[in-house]
Amino acid sequence: MRQRQPYWILGGVLLVSAACAAQEPDFAGVQKILRQNCLACHQGKAPSGSFDVSKLRTEDSLTSEARRWNRVVARVRNGEMPPKNVKALTDADHEHLTTWIESTLRHRACADGITPAPGPIRRLNRNEYASTVRDLLNVHFNAARDLPADGAGGEGFDNAAETLFLSPIHAEKYLEAAKQALDYGVRDPRSRAAFITQGPSDKLTPEQAAEQVVSGFLPRAFRRPVTKGEVDRYLGLFRTALARGESYDGALLFAMQGVMVSPNFLFRLPFPNPSAQPRLAESYEMASRLSYFLWGSMPDQALFDLAAAGKLQDPVMLKQQVGRMLRDVKARDFAERFVEQWLGTRELGRDIKPDAQLFPAYYDEEVQSAIRYEPILFFQEILAENLPLLNLIDSNFTILTNKLARHYEIKVDKLSQQPKRADLPENSHRGGLTGMAAVLAVSSYPRRTSPVLRGKWILDSLLGTPPPPPPPNVPELKTENDGGPARTLREHLELHRANPVCAGCHSRIDPLGFSLENYDVVGRWRTQDAGKPVDTRGQLPDGPTFEGPAGLKSVLMTRKDLFVRNLTTKLLGYALGRGLGVEDSCAVDAIVAKLKENEYRSHILIEEIILSVPFRYQPGTQAGLAVEGSATVTASGGQKP
Amino acid sequence: MKEAWFPISRRRLLRGAGAALGLPWLEAMQARAAALPSKPPVRMAALYMPNGVHPEMWTPEGEGRDFKLSPTLEPLAPLKDDLFLATHLWNQGSRGGEGHYVKISGFLTCTTVTKTLGVDLNCNGISMDQVAAQRLGRHTPLPSLELGIHPVTTGVDKNVGYTRVYGSHIAWAGPTNPLAREINPRLVFERLFRAQGPQADTAKQDALLLDRVLDGARDLRGQLGSTDQRRLDEYLSVVRSLEQRLERAGKPEEIDWKPRAAWKPDVRPTDTPKDHAEHVRLMMDMIALAFETDTTRIATFMFSNEVSNQNFAFLPGVSEAHHSLSHHENNPDKMRQYQLINRWHIEQYAYLLNKLKSIREDGVPVLDNSMILFGSGLRDGNKHDPHNLPLVLAGKGGGRIATGQHRVYSPDTPLANLYVSMLDAFGAPVERFADSTGPLPGALA
C-alpha cells in the first residue's frame, strides 16, 4: 500500500521504505504526471477549484508559485487529489510527484534564505492560563482547574494556535476563574501585595491609588506597555464598582476581573510589523515568546526589564537567558508539557490505564507518580545539566524514587519518596526512554503488552516515521483451533508478517517491539510471559539481527540522526506553537547540523531554536520575503560552511 | 490521580474552587412562573458510542410493530414501545478518510471533515443539535449541554493525518467551532445550577463587566489580519452570548415554560467517580437533571473519545480493550467480547431512558417529551464502514415520533433524513440538512 509520510523524512533514511522504488524523479517527469493526471480539469478559463495547474509549467514557477506547488503536494499526499471519480495516480507516479516537489521546494526555499511565518493570535491554553494567573497574582491556586482541556494541532501539542478554539463554556469559566483566583489571592497577604500594590491614604484618594495599582497591573497582565486609554477603561470599572458601594479592594478586584477576561490577557497578540520586510520580533513579544516556550507562563520581571531596555534582540543576551530560565523551577512545567505530549504519556491514567486487578503494583501512589514523572524529570535533568540529547536513547542514569527502584529491581542507596537522579548499575538494561515504565505502559494494552503498539510507538514518537494505519477488513489470522497447538504471540505475529498485505509495515514494526518484551505492561523486568520464556530477538529488513533492550538501543543509535531530527522538529513545533512547513524545515536542518557539531548538547538545541529565524522573526506586509543572510544551503546544493 | 510533587496540594485546590454555591435559586425559579404555555417542551439528546458494533448482534428481527430485539439491544426490552429503530441508514459524508476521525466528527453534521493536523480544522457544516440550539436555545438558561468522559485525546494522529480534536467532538456550532465538553460531573452540576439561578445583581454586574471588555476588544479588531480577526470574532461571539444570557437571567418573558421539577441541591455528584461505569451513570443523571429542570433541552454525550482503548475487563467475560477488540478480525472470541461491550453501552442508555421515564411532568413521563438518540459513526469496527449505522431513537418527542417500531429502509438512506425528522419534532423544522433527501418516512407519528 502507498506510504503517506511527512515530507521531511523523504530526503533521509527511509525506515519505512516507499512501496515502489521509482527511478530518479526530474522536472520533465513531474510535468508529464501533471499533464496526464491534473490538467484536464485544472486549466483554462474556469479551472476546477479555481486552481490552475498550467501555471506550474516552468522551472521558475517553483519559486514564483511555491504556494501553488505546496498545495499540489498536500492535496495529493492527503489522497484528496486526483478525486475518487477519476483515474488514481499509480503508486510510482504518486511517489515520484510528491518526493520531487517536496525536495525541490525545500531546497529552493533553503537556498533563498528562511522566510518567517506569521505568528497568529493564540489563546493561552489551559496550562498556560493556570501558570500565568499563578505568576500574575502570586497565588498557589490552579485557576484552570475547571477549564476544559485543549486538543492538539500542528506537531502534536496543545499550544498550537490552530486548535485553540473557544466555546461558550470558556467564557463562563474565564469569568468565574478570574473571580475565584482574585478572591483567593486577596485573602493571602503575600499574594495581595503582588497585585494590590497601593492603598488610599491621606495623600492619595481611592481613585489616585487605584490608578497606580492598575497602571502597574495592566502591563504585566497584557505583557506589554499599555496606553492611558487602556488604564482608563479599567479604572472606569473600578469607579463603577466603588459607586455601587464596593470596598476599595472589592472595586479593584472587579476591575482586575475585567482585565483577566480581556482578549489582551487571554490571547497572545502579535505586535504588527508595518514594514514590508521581515524583522526581529519586538522586544516585549520576544519576552513572551521566551517565557511561554521555556516556562509556559508570562515573563518575569527580569525579562520585562530586558524588554524595556531593548536587550532581547541580542543573541548573547538570549543565550544567557536560556541558561537562567532552564535552571528556574518553572522549567519543570516546560519539561512536563513537552515530554508528556511528545511521548504520549499524558494519556496514562486517562484513556490508557494498566488493569488494576492484574497490576496492583502500578496503583501504589508513589510508584504511579514516580512512573509518570520519570521521563519528565529525566528530560529536565538533561536540560539543566546541558547533557547530550542521546541520553534519551541510552543513559547511565535515570530518575528514581525508593519504590520505583524496587519496581525496577535496581539497588540504589539513599533514595527517598522524592524522585532524584540516580546512577544505574553497570550493564543495566534501563537507561534511555525505552526502559521507562511510563513509555512501556502507554504503548501496551491495559492487560497485556503489544510488540505492535511498542514498535509503532518507537517509529512514531522517537523516529518520527509513523507507519500507515492497517488496511480495513484485515482477515482473521488463523490461531488456535485450526488443528495445531496454541501459538505464542510471536508465532501469531509471524503469521501476520507472512501475509504480504501486512508484511510491508509489520516487518519493520514488530521486531522493534519484540525487543522490549522483557518489560511487562508496567515496565517490570520479566524473562517469562504466560509460562514461556520471552523471545526478544528481531531483525529489520535492512539491518542485522538484534536482541533485547540493549540491541534496540544500538539499532536506535544507528538512526540517531532520524531521532535528533524528530526531536528538533517536535521541539521547534512546540516552541512556535504551530505545525511546521517547508520553510521551517530549513531551520530544522540547520539546528540538526549544529547539534551534530556539538555532541548533541541540549542547550545547543534550545539556543538554536531561540536564535532561529522562525522563532525570532516576524514577517512584514509583503508575503514570502526571506530574512537576509539566513540561507542554510548554497545555491549549488551543499551545506553552508 | 494523586500527584505527589504537584506544587499545589489537593486540599488547597479544593478549598479554593467552587465555593459560591449558596445562591438562592428560588426567586429565579418563581420568576419563571406566570402565565406560560402548559404543554411541556420537547427535549433532545444524542449519545455517541465509539468504535462501532458487532454487526450480526445488532439488527432486530422482523419489521414494523412486530419485531424482536437483538442480543445487543435486549436491555431495551422493557422500553420496546418507546423505541424507534431504523435499519440501513448511512452517513455518506463519513465515507473515506482513513481511520475513525471522519466518522465521529461527522456523526451529527453529516458532512466530511477536512483532513488536517490542525491548520484547516473544519467540519464543513454544523451539527444537528446545534441547529436546534441556535433556533430554540434562547428559551432555556443554557442553549445546549456538551458532555463527555475523557478529556480531548493528546496529540495528532500522524498515521492518518488528522488532529485528535476530531475524535473528541460531535457537537459543532459552526464549521470551525467544535464545542468543548464538560467531563467532570460535579462541574456539570454547578454549571446547571449557576445557569438556573444566577443572583440577579451578580448577573447584572457580570454583564456590565463583559460589556466593557467587549468594547475594548472591538477596538483591537482593527489592528488584526483576517485570520486573526476570525479568531477574535470567536471570542467576541462567545463573550457576547454569555453577556446576553446574563442580561436575560431574571427576565421571565424569554421563558416559555415553567419546569415542574424543583432544583435538587442534594443530588450534587462527586468530582472523582470511582470507575468508568459510575462516571457514565453520573453524566446520565446530569442529562436527566438538566431536562427535568428545563435548564437545557439539548444535550450531546460521548461515552468515550473515538479510538478509545477503554479497559472493559470490569465486565464478566471481557479481557481486552475497546478499540483493539473492535478490530476483531472475525475472531469469534474477540467478537463475543466486542458484543458484550456494545451491550454494556446499551444498558447505560437504558438507564437514562428508564430514569426519564420515571420522572413525570403533568402526569406524563419526561421520556415521552424527549428524543434520545444512541449511535455510533461506524457499523463494524473491523471494517470502518458507515453503511447501516447502529442507531436507536427513544422517546415519543412530545407525541411526534412514531415509536414501537423497527423500520427497514432501502440501503444507504441518508442518516440526515432522520435528523430532518427529529428537528421537525423538536420544533425547529428545516428544509434540508446536509445530504438529506427529505424526512425519514414513517418516523413521525
Tens-place pLDDT, residues A516-527: 999 999 999 999
For residue A263, the chain B residue with the least C-alpha distance is: B217
Given a cut of 50, whether residue B1 has pLDDT beyond it is no
In chain A, residues 221-260 whose CB comes closer than 8 Å to chain B: 230, 233, 236-237, 240-241, 254, 257-258
> In the predicted model, what is the mean pLDDT of chain A?
88
CA angle (B332 as vertex; B281, A492 as ends), nearest 5: 110
Q: Do B143 and A168 touch (CB under 8 A)?
A: yes
A417 touches chain B (CB under 8 A): yes
List, in sequence order, every residue forming a beta bridge with A51; answer none if it has no partner.
none
For residue B1, the chain A residue with the least C-alpha distance is: A349
List, in sequence order, every residue forming a beta bridge with B89; answer none if it has no partner.
B413
What is the distance in angstroms between the Cα of B35 and the nearest Cα belonging to chain A? Answer: 31
% pLDDT > 90, chain A? 66
Given a cut of 60, whether residue A641 has pLDDT beyond it is no
Query: What pLDDT, in 10s, does the model give residues A294-312?
Result: 999 999 999 999 999 999 9
Alpha-helical regions (H) of B76-221: 101-105, 128-136, 185-196, 200-221
Query: What pLDDT, in 10s, does the model give residues B129-167?
Result: 999 999 999 889 899 999 999 999 989 988 888 999 999
A623 touches chain B (CB under 8 A): no
Cell of B281: 451513570
Q: Do B152 and A171 touch (CB under 8 A)?
A: no
A262 touches chain B (CB under 8 A): yes
Q: Which of B5, B241, B308 sits opposite A351 (nearest CB)?
A: B308
Query: What pLDDT, in 10s, does the model give residues B330-367?
Result: 899 999 999 999 999 999 999 999 999 999 999 999 99
Q: Which residue has the cell 446576553?
A: B244
Q: Which residue has the cell 479544593?
A: B14
- Angstrom distance (rounded) from CA A99 to CA A83: 20
Give the mean model confidence (pLDDT) for residues A177-185: 97
A228 SS3 class: helix
- Angstrom distance (rounded) from CA B91 to CA B106: 8
Mutate to test the interface with A, among B115, B156, B305 (most CBs of A within 10 A): B156
Cell of B431: 428544509
Q: Do B313 and A170 touch (CB under 8 A)?
A: no
What is the distance in angstroms between the Cα of A426 and the nearest Cα belonging to chain B? Answer: 30
Cell of B263: 432544583
Q: Which of A162, A165, A267 sits opposite B177 (nearest CB)?
A: A165
pLDDT for residue A18 = 38
Cell of B13: 485546590
Q: Which residue has the cell 421571565?
A: B252
Which residues of B are less than 8 Å from A350 in CB distance?
Answer: 150-151, 153-154
Give the mean model confidence (pLDDT) for residues B304-316: 92
Given a cut of 90, whether residue B42 has pLDDT beyond it is yes
At residue B412, what are phi and psi to the nearest 5 degrees? Answer: 60, 45
Q: Do B209 and A153 touch (CB under 8 A)?
A: no
Q: Which of B17, B177, B213 sits opposite A261 (nearest CB)?
A: B213
Q: Are B420 and B440 in contact (CB under 8 A)?
A: yes
Instruction: Single out the residue of A368, A320, A318 nearest to residue A348, CA to CA.
Output: A368
Instruction: Single out the residue of B399, B372, B193, B239 nearest to residue B299, CA to CA.
Output: B372
A469 touches chain B (CB under 8 A): yes
Q: Do A475 and B224 touch (CB under 8 A)?
A: no
B405 SS3 class: strand
- Angstrom distance (rounded) from CA A356 to CA A363: 7
Cell of A289: 515568546
- Is the model more confident about A86 or about B277? B277
Given a cut of 70, whether residue B425 has pLDDT beyond it is yes
Query: What pLDDT, in 10s, does the model give residues A143-159?
Result: 999 999 999 998 999 99
Mutate to test the interface with B, among A121, A124, A580 (most CBs of B within 10 A): A121
N- to C-terminal Cα distance for chain B? 49
Q: Which of A155, A167, A181 sits opposite B180 (nearest CB)?
A: A167
pLDDT for residue A295 = 98
pLDDT for residue A1 = 35
In chain A, residues 554-583 whose CB comes closer than 8 Å to chain B: 578-579
A162 touches chain B (CB under 8 A): yes
Instruction: Single out the residue of A577, A624, A571 nearest to residue A162, CA to CA.
Output: A577
Cell of A548: 533485547
For residue B99, the chain A residue with the least C-alpha distance is: A469
Mutate to test the interface with B, among A98, A166, A267 (most CBs of B within 10 A): A166
For residue A257, the chain B residue with the least C-alpha distance is: B209
- Angstrom distance (rounded) from CA A121 to CA B231: 8
In this structure, the strands spanning B43-48 and B298-302 are parallel
Mutate to test the interface with B, among A3, A158, A167, A477 (most CBs of B within 10 A): A167
Count CB pairs under 8 A between chains A and B. 256
Q: Do A474 and B215 touch (CB under 8 A)?
A: no
Q: Do A151 and B165 touch (CB under 8 A)?
A: yes
Side-chain half-sphere exposure of A295, counting CA atoms within 13 A: 25
Query: Angle A315-327/A602-611 helices, nearest 10 degrees?
Result: 130
Side-chain half-sphere exposure of A22, counting CA atoms within 13 A: 19
Lowest mean pLDDT across A244-253, A618-627, B400-409: A618-627
Which residues of A are less than 8 Å from B311 in CB distance?
Answer: 353, 355, 446-447
Grade residue A23 by pLDDT with cuts at 50, 70 and 90. low
Which residues of A are less than 8 Å from B127 in CB distance?
Answer: none
pLDDT for residue A490 = 80
pLDDT for residue A54 = 86
Given a cut of 90, whether residue A457 has pLDDT beyond it is yes
Q: Do B216 and A264 touch (CB under 8 A)?
A: yes
- Is the model more confident about A89 or about A256? A256
Lowest mean pLDDT across A385-399, A405-419, A457-471: A457-471
pLDDT for residue A632 = 63
Give the mean model confidence (pLDDT) for residues A6-23: 36
Q: Could you check whether the bond before residue A82 is cis, i.e. omega within 30 degrees of 0?
A: yes
Cell of B31: 420568576
pLDDT for residue B50 = 96
In chain A, residues 81-140 whose CB comes closer than 8 Å to chain B: 84, 118, 120-121, 123, 140
Cell of B256: 416559555
Which residues of A are less than 8 Å from B275 in CB distance?
Answer: none
At residue A321, what are phi and psi to the nearest 5 degrees? Answer: -65, -35
Q: Are B47 and B284 in contact (CB under 8 A)?
A: no
According to the per-residue pLDDT averaged within each range, which of A50-64, A434-448, A463-477, B237-251 is highest?
Answer: A434-448
For residue A121, the chain B residue with the least C-alpha distance is: B228
Given a cut of 50, whether residue B3 has pLDDT beyond it is no
Cell of B372: 434520545
Residues sharing a CB contact under 8 Å with residue B80, sequence separation 6 or more, in sequence order: B69, B404
Instruction: Single out the residue of A588, A608, A583, A633 nearest to residue A278, CA to CA.
Output: A583
Interface ipTM: 0.89
Given a cut of 70, whether residue A495 has pLDDT beyond it is yes
- Angstrom distance (rounded) from CA A427 to CA A460: 28
- Is the model more confident about A82 or about B74? B74
A482 touches chain B (CB under 8 A): no
In chain A, residues 521-540 whose CB comes closer than 8 Å to chain B: none
Give the mean model confidence (pLDDT) for residues A377-401: 97
- Angstrom distance (rounded) from CA A340 to CA A372: 9
- Angstrom distance (rounded) from CA B89 to CA B442: 14
Give the mean model confidence (pLDDT) for residues A10-20: 35
Q: Which of A146, A270, A456 sits opposite B187 (nearest CB)?
A: A146
pLDDT for residue A74 = 74
Q: How many CB atoms lie within 10 A of CB A442?
A: 25
- Angstrom distance (rounded) from CA A221 to CA A255: 12
Side-chain half-sphere exposure of A192, counting CA atoms within 13 A: 12
Q: Do B215 and A233 touch (CB under 8 A)?
A: yes
Given a cut of 90, whether residue B37 has pLDDT beyond it is no
- Total-model pTM: 0.88
Given a cut of 80, whether residue A635 has pLDDT beyond it is no
Q: Do A263 and B320 touch (CB under 8 A)?
A: no
A75 touches chain B (CB under 8 A): no
Which residues of B are less than 8 Å from A71 in CB distance?
Answer: none
Q: Which amino acid is at B159?
A: N
Which residues of B are less than 8 Å from A459 in CB distance?
Answer: none
Q: Are A365 and B173 in contact (CB under 8 A)?
A: no
B395 SS3 class: coil
Which residues of B are less than 8 Å from A477 in CB distance?
Answer: 329
Side-chain half-sphere exposure of B186, counting CA atoms within 13 A: 12
pLDDT for residue B9 = 37
- Angstrom distance (rounded) from CA B83 to CA B350: 11
